[in-house]
Amino acid sequence: MGTTNYKVYHSIISPQQAFKELYVEQDLIVPSGDSKISKSKRKRGIDTLSSVKVRPDINLKDQSDENVVRKKLTEHFLLLHDITENQRLKGELDRTTLSLNLYKQYKKKKRQTRKTR
């Protein structure tokens, strides 16, 4: 009985490493570089899959799909940024308008008190 037919879960391996090993076994990607990552890179959140290159014949359609998704996400987050900026500016405009109205009321009352004297 060979062990190649049975997959065993190893709790020592990170999910990224397990993912990489799965795809290396299936010959979908070709690893380039060391699969181990330093603690400083792990703390910064750099993925171990960044050192893995996908073969070009598989990646053609995925790359165009990735570009479309990237463009849509960029538009989405720009819209979110614009919305929050507009809300901030609207709040600032409302506060300024309220301040001006209060100042006008103050001026009116001040004039009325001068006339009554």
The full set of domain ranges for the chain reads 7-54, 56-117
**Tens-digit pLDDT string for the chain (117 aa):** 555 566 665 567 777 777 777 767 766 555 555 555 555 555 555 454 555 555 555 566 777 888 899 999 999 999 999 999 999 999 999 999 999 999 999 999 999 988 887
- CA atoms of 117 and 115, how far apart (whole Å): 6
State the residue for tokens 């959140």. Answer: 45
pTM greater than the 0.85 cutoff = no
